[in-house]
Amino acid sequence: MLAKRIIPCLDVRAGRVVKGVNFEGVKDVTDPVSLARRYNEEGADELVFYDITASHEERNLFTDVLEKVAGEIFIPLTVGGGIRTVDDFARVLGCGADKVSVNSGAIADFSLIGRAANKYGSQCVVLSMDVKRVDGKFALFAKGGREYTGIDAMEWARRGVGDGAGEIVLNSIDTDGVKGGFDIEMLQELCSLVDVPVIASGGAGKAEDFVTLFKSVPGADAGLAASIFHFEEVNIKNLKQMLKANGIPVRI
Amino acid sequence: MIGIVDYGVGNLFSLKSSLKYLGLEHIVSADMRELARCDRLILPGVGAFGDARAILAGSGMDGFLTEQAHSGKPLLGICLGMQLLLQGSEEFGSHDGLGLIEGRACPLKGDIDPLLKVPHMGWNSLHFTKKSELFKYSREGEWVYFVHSFYGKDCGGDVLATADYSVPVTAAVGRGKVFGTQFHPEKSGTAGLKILRAFAEV
C-alpha cells in the first residue's frame, strides 16, 4: 500500500526561503538547505522548491541551493517556478531535481507538457494548477493566481494528463491562505476525472486538515503546505503520527 | 571502486550524490575497460526497456555485463536497470533481457486492482521473502520510493522482497552477486542509503 505523502513547499528567492503574508510583505525566513534538512529529519516524503526568482543572478543562486540539497537529502525533489521550455527542465534536472512542475509555462505553450514528457517521461512532468471558482465553475488562473484564463480547470487537467502530465498539484485559490482546510469539493471533482496522482495544496491550517483531506478524498495522494511547516505550527513527525492513528498509511 | 554504467539512460545525479555522501568511491563510465577495473557495478536506468536494451546491445555492453556477472562481480540494477537483468520484457513488444535473473517485466495494469493508479509511484514498504546480504542493514517494513509501470513477474526463487500494491509487486531480486531493486535506493532516504552501503560490502 502506498503511503500518503506529506510535502513541504519552499519558496526560494535569491537563495533564501521566503514566505509572504497574503502575497505581500515577503519576508526572509531562513536558509533553504537547513530548512530542507529539518523537513527531512521530521519525515517529509518529498520537497517542492518553488523558484520565485526575479533575475538571472538569482536563478543561479536557486540552482546552487538545489544542488546543495540534492547532494545530502535523498528523497524526491520537485522544482517549479519559471519553467517555460524543455531547456528549463534540463537545467533543473541536471541540478538534482526529480520532477519538474509547470504552470503558467504550460498555459503559454501547451505543447511543453507533451515535449517534456517525451523527453523525460511522464513521471517527471507535474502539472501545477491554480484554480478558483468563477460563476460556480472551476476556472484556471495563471501567473501565480493573478490572471484569469477563462479555461475550465477540470478540462485543463484532463488535457494535461492526456498529453503526458504524470501528476497534478491542485492549488485552490479559494482556500489558499485561509487556513480553514483543503478544498475538499474541488479535489473530489479532480480525483474523479484523472487517474494520475493528485497533490492537494492550499488551505492547510492544522494537522487535522490533513486527516480530513485523506479521509474525504481517498484519491488524493499527498498534501502540500508551506507556512504551517515553516513556522512550526505543524510538525511533520507529529502530523504523521496523527495520520497513522487515524488509519491512514504513512511512512514513519 | 563502484562503476556506474553510463549508457545515456536516466538522471544519475542522485545516485552519484548518495554514493559520495556515503564516502564510496565511484566513477560514471561507458568505457568497458574502465568498468572492468571496478570491483562492483551499478546499472541504473529510467525509460523504455526496448530503447535501453538496444543501446546496451549496440555498444556490446550487454555481453560485457553478462560476462562480468558470470565472473562473480557484484552487480546492482536499479529500476529499469533491474528489469534489464530479467529474461525479458513485454513493454511495447517482446524484448530479451540479460537473462541473469528469472522472470519478465510485465505491465502492472491488468494484474493489480483496476482502481489503483499506474505508475506505482511513491513510498511503499518492503516485505522480505528471502534473506540477502543486500538487506543486512534493512528492517522489515521499511519504506522505499518507487516509480514504475512494469514489474518483474514470475521471478520465482530470485525474489528477495516485495511491496504490496493489491498484489505482491517484486521490489528486489537477486541471484548470487547479481541484485536488482525496482525501487530507487538513491531516492529512499536513509533506508535507501543503507541498501547502497550493503551493496558496497557484498
Q: pLDDT tens digits for B71-119?
A: 999 999 999 999 999 999 998 889 999 999 999 999 999 999 999 999 9
Kindly report the number of other CB atoms within 10 A of residue A21's CB atom.
10
Distance from CA of A117 to the nearest CA of B (A): 11
At residue A252, the pLDDT reads 94
CA angle centred on A131, ends B148 and A158, rounded to 5°: 45
Range with lowest mean pLDDT among A7-11, A19-23, B7-11, B37-41: A19-23
- Per CB-CB distance under 8 Å, the chain A contacts of B119 are 122-123, 166
| Sign of the torsion formed by the C-alpha atoms of B155, B157, B161 and B164 | positive
- Per CB-CB distance under 8 Å, the chain B contacts of A196 are 117
The residue ranges of every structural domain in chain B are 2-200
Beta bridge partners of A147: A142
At residue A26, the pLDDT reads 61
Say whether B121 and A167 touch across the interface (CB within 8 A). yes
Range with lowest mean pLDDT among A56-70, B81-95, B148-162, B177-191: A56-70
Residue B48 near residue B153 (C-beta atoms within 8 A): no
Q: Is the pLDDT confidence value at B184 over 70?
A: yes
Burial grade of B131 (CB within 10 A; 0-12, 13-18, 19 or more): exposed
Burial grade of A2 (CB within 10 A; 0-12, 13-18, 19 or more): buried
Residue A236 near residue A212 (C-beta atoms within 8 A): no
At residue A27, the pLDDT reads 67
Which amino acid type is present at position A114?
G
At residue B158, the pLDDT reads 98
Distance from CA of B179 to the nearest CA of A (A): 21
List, for residues B106-142, the tens digit of each pLDDT value.
999 999 999 999 999 999 999 999 999 999 999 999 9
Helices (H) and strands (E) in chain B, counts: 6, 14
- Taking the C-alpha atoms of residue A244 and residue B1, their distance in angstroms, rounded to an integer, is 41
Give mean pLDDT, residues B38-53: 92
Fold of B2-200: Rossmann fold (3.40.50)
pLDDT tens for each residue of chain A, 252 residues long:
999 999 999 999 888 888 765 555 566 678 999 999 999 999 999 999 999 876 777 888 899 999 999 999 999 999 999 899 999 999 999 999 999 999 999 999 999 999 999 888 899 999 999 999 999 999 999 988 889 999 999 999 999 999 999 999 999 999 998 899 999 999 999 999 999 999 999 999 999 999 999 999 999 999 999 989 998 999 999 999 999 999 999 999
- Per CB-CB distance under 8 Å, the chain A contacts of B121 are 2, 123, 166-167, 197
Give mean pLDDT, residues B176-198: 98
The pTM (predicted TM-score) of the whole model is: 0.95
Say whether B124 and A45 touch across the interface (CB within 8 A). no
The CATH number of the domain where A40 resides is what?
A: 3.20.20.70
At residue B157, the pLDDT reads 97
Q: Is the pLDDT confidence value at B46 over 90?
A: no
- Per CB-CB distance under 8 Å, the chain B contacts of A251 are 123, 125, 143
Residue B81 near residue B126 (C-beta atoms within 8 A): no
At residue A21, the pLDDT reads 54
Does residue A108 sit within a domain? yes
Distance from CA of B153 to the nearest CA of A (A): 18
Chain mean pLDDT for chain B: 96
Of A74, A122, A221, the CB nearest to B193: A74
- Taking the C-alpha atoms of residue B49 and residue A110, their distance in angstroms, rounded to an integer, is 28
Does residue A252 sit within a domain? no
At residue A55, the pLDDT reads 78
